[in-house]
Every structure is written in C-alpha cells, then in structure tokens.
Structure 1
Amino acid sequence: MSNPLIAALDAEVADLRRNDGPLGDRLRRLAERVRELSPVYADAVDRFVMRLESVGAGANAPQVGDVMPDFMLPDHDGQMVTLERLIGSGPAVLVFHRGHWCPYCRLTMAGMAEIEARLAPHALAAISPERQQYTRALRASAGAGFPFLSDVGSGYALSLNLAVWVDDAMARLIASSGLDIPEYQGTAGWIMPIPAVFIVGTDGRVIARHIDPDYRRRMEQDAVLDMLGRVSSQPA
C-alpha cells in the first residue's frame, strides 16, 4: 500500500506499539494522528460513528447472562474451532475486530498479544470477516499465539446483531485510500463487525462484554485481566 495516509498510519502504529501505556491512550493518539493527517477522513468517521450510535448499533448483541451462540469457524491455518472447545476448561475471551487493514485493530491485536501470557490458561480468540491469508498476516504482525478466526460473510457477527453495513460514502472513502475490503473478506459487500469483546463462561453464558460503535475505542487490557481474575477467584 503506497497511499501516503496508509504509510503514515502504519508508521504511527509501529511507534505506538513501542509505547507501554494503556491501550486506550494509544488508540486516542492514533485517532489524533488520523485527524492531523486527514481532517476530511476523520470528519467522515465521526459522521459514520454518529449514525451507528443513533440507531443503537450493537445494543442487541448478547447481554451479560445471555447464552453466547456456539460457532464453528476456521482459524488462520484452516483448522475448525468451536466456542464449545474454547470454553472447555475455563472462561474464554472473544475479540471481534474489522481486520488487518484497520490500524486500530492492528494496535488492539498487538495489545491483546501483550497480555496473552497473563491470560493463560484462559482461551483467547480473535474473530474477523477476513480470509485466512490476512488473518495469518495480522496474527504474525501482532506476535500473537492465539487463534485468528475467519467469520466469512460476517455470518456469525450478523447472528449476534454485531455486524453493520458500511454506507456508500464511507466505503468510497476507505477504498480511495487503496484498501480493498471486498478482496480482504472475499465477498462483494461492505459489512463489518462492531469491534467487541465477550468473556464467555464455561456454561456458555456471557460474563462480561464491551461493545462500542466507535471503533476507535476498545476494551482495556487491564479490564479483561481484572474480569477474568474476579471470575477465577469465585468459588466453584
């Protein structure tokens, strides 16, 4: 990708990955950098996020206490993974993201990789609508050891009321940056998940969740660790 904006954001993500501050602070700095580089793009994102917030996007996704629907999705190597398997020995963390092309997602995935060892033995999995060649690339770039799953066509995200349609104006703006979302996803449409985190217990019920239509905000690493710590400390 030779687009100057993409190149500048790639450099910013690389620099922010060397920062050991809270993930939220790094994401805010990234958003500030986007606005510095392209106020037009940043304003378009603001309008897109406002549209999602106005319709309560993601509000009807599984709530705390709800049963999380099972899935069977291929990982980065093509091996099928189920939720039942992930929660077989303890609560699991599911991280929905938009894909390797999204700088906020790259930073978030690297952030999750930073705490992966501290999450053990709890299972952790990333889910996006991207094809395996892109999930493999992001997994390697993030330095992650956990599986990156492909939700082809956003079918699972749609079943959770977690997927949104990207309007034509936003799609054209993204494409003008040299990003080919349909190619990455292997579909003709412009459907993406709302980035989210679900912590699912061994009974298949949601213990905690973080869903925000503003993809520039994600669940903090410490919040994930704290929640799992509280669950693990509860008597069986």
Structure 2
Amino acid sequence: MDQSTSAVMGQLVKTACSLEGSLARQLTYIADQIRLMNPHFSDAVDAFVDRLTNAHAGDKAPAVGDPMPGFLLPDDQGRLVSLERLLETAPVVVAFHRGHWCPYCRTNMIGLAALEADIKPVQIVAVSAEVQAYSRRLKAEAKAGFPFLTDMGNGYALSLNLAIWVDDDMAALIQAADIDIPRYQGQEGWVLPIPSVFVVGQDGLIKARHIDPDYRRRLEYADLKAFARQALATS
C-alpha cells in the first residue's frame, strides 16, 4: 500500500473510531466515504458480496453447538498457539479478519482491543493469513493485548469453510488501490477469510458465532460481550 492510500485509509479509521455509538455506525461511515471516493470500486464490492451471498458463503462453517475444530498457529512473535491450550484457562473468542490493509478490520480490531479487559478472563485471538510483520503492525495500531495468529495459506479458514476466492476483476481493483494481498500473505493467490467470530466454551463447543459474507458488517461489541459472559457462566 503506497503512502497516499495508507494515509487516506488511516484517516478513515481514525475518524470512524471517534464516532460514538455502534460498530455498524463506524463501518457505515467508512463504506460511505469509500463510495464517495470511488463509486466504481464500491459497486464492484456490492456485486462481489452478492456473489458470495448467492453462493451461501460461510453457511457450511461450524454451527452453534458444534465442536470448534482445533488449531495450532504461530502468533505475531512466532510462538505456536493452540486452541486446546487456551481453553484450559477460559472460553475463547476466535475472530477472523482480512488483514491490516482493510479499514473495516482495522476499526474492528481497535474495538476488540478496547473490549478485551471487559470480557476477561475470556480470551481473544485474531486470525488472518497475513505474515507476522503485518500482523504485528495491526496489533500495534489496535493496542491489543491478545495474539494475532497467522493462518498460512488460509488453511484453517479453508477447513472451516470460511475461505473465499477473490475473482480476477475484484483482485484487479484491489491491486489498483496499491493493496498487495499476495505479498501480505507471503504467497501467491487471492484467497481471504470471511470475517467471522466464534465464541468457544471450555468444553470446546461453539456457544455463539457471527458470519457475514459482507465484510462491511461485523458483530456488535455489546453482543460479543453478552456471548462471552454466557460462555463464561456455563464453563
């Protein structure tokens, strides 16, 4: 991402995070501003989201009441983190995001970091296919205490039926905005996870989940806080 694009996205995120109210309000602000700046790009995103929705993307992901498949993934410092070990301590929130380049994900991660203390001892882990250098960048921006895990090649997301292919037209538009997803992920290919949240109880079962093919929409923090408390109460 070049400096001009980075500066514009950074200002969008900063302004969005300053807005009081819901996460939806913050993300709608970003979407509206991007549409003003580049209507063609936003129209393409609408078509992309429609394609995913019509294909029922994410519908086959693990459901509430199902066991959450385990993972063993490196964190932003290269240390291996397993779901099994985390669950020995408390319930876990597994939050999939697209990466440091996405203003919606940046805003969401900043909000999750602010929520972290309120839901302890429930733990949060952020998961994307980005290599550690970029995960560390987003973690620092969010001022997060929770780990950012690297899902190389989107392997874990694929196993959960959460990975989506970015078509050539959409990829070209993203590249035109100086966003280099293959470089950020450390390998060729245009695959991204559907931004999703799973709240996993200490019994390993999914207590709540949020999956939306439209990456411009995310789980509200108040709802996540309630789900986390419920998971803790039943552990």
Question: What TM-score results when the alignment is normalised by the length of structure 1?
Answer: 0.96
- Contact 1:9 / 1:34 at 8 angstroms: preserved in 2? no
Deviation at 1:4, TM superposition (A): 4.8
The question of 1:37 aligning with 2:37 is answered yes
Do the aligned partners of 2:200 and 2:231 also contact (CA within 8 Å) in 1? no
Q: 1:20 Cα deviation (Å)?
A: 3.5
Per the alignment, residue 67 of structure 2 pairs with: 67
Shift, 1:5, TM fit: 5.1
The SS at the match of 1:115 is helix
Is 1:92 aligned to residue 68 of structure 2? no
Structure 1 unaligned segments of length 5 or more: list them.
none
1-structure distance, mates of 2:44, 2:89: 44
Q: Does 1:119 align with 2:119?
A: yes
Structure 2 equivalent of residue 199 of structure 1 = 199
Instruction: Count residues in correspondence.
Output: 235
SS in 1 for 2:113: helix
Structure 2 counterpart of 1:90, which letter? A
For 1:76 and 1:171, locate their aligned partners in 2 and report how far apart those are by CA, in whole Å: 26
What SS class does the counterpart of residue 197 from structure 2 fall into? strand
SS of the residue 2:204 aligns to:
coil
Instruction: Report the Cα offset of residue 3 of structure 1.
Output: 6.5
Could you tell me which residue of structure 1 aligns to residue 11 of structure 2? 11
2:108 aligned partner = 108
2:76 paired with 1:76: yes
Structure 1 stretches of at least 4 aligned residues deviating more than 6 Å after TM superposition: none
**Which stretch of structure 1 is more off in the superposition, 87-96 or 103-112?**
87-96
Q: Percent identity?
A: 50
How far apart are 1:68 and its partner, in Å?
Answer: 0.8
| 8 Å CA contact retained: 1:74, 1:81 | yes
Name the structure 1 match of 2:170.
170
Tell me by how many angstroms 1:12 deviates: 1.2
CA contact (8 A) 2:5 2:178 kept: no
Q: Distance in 2 between matches of 1:175 and 1:30?
A: 19
Structure 2 stretches of 5 or more lacking a match?
Answer: none
1:132 matched to 2:132? The reply is yes
Q: TM-score, normalised by structure 2?
A: 0.97
Q: Who is 2:179 aligned against?
A: 179
Is 1:219 paired with 2:224? no
2:228 match: 228
Determine the C-alpha separation between the residues in 2 that align with 1:54 and 1:73.
Answer: 31
User: Which residue of 1 is the match for residue 146 of structure 2?
Assistant: 146
**CA–CA distance in structure 2, aligned partners of residues 206 and 76 of structure 1:** 25
**Cα-Cα RMSD:** 1.2
- Residues 130-183 of structure 1, C-alpha deviations (whole Å, 9 max, x = no match): 000000000000110100000000000000000000000000000011111000
Q: Is the 8 A contact 1:3 1:178 kept in 2?
A: no
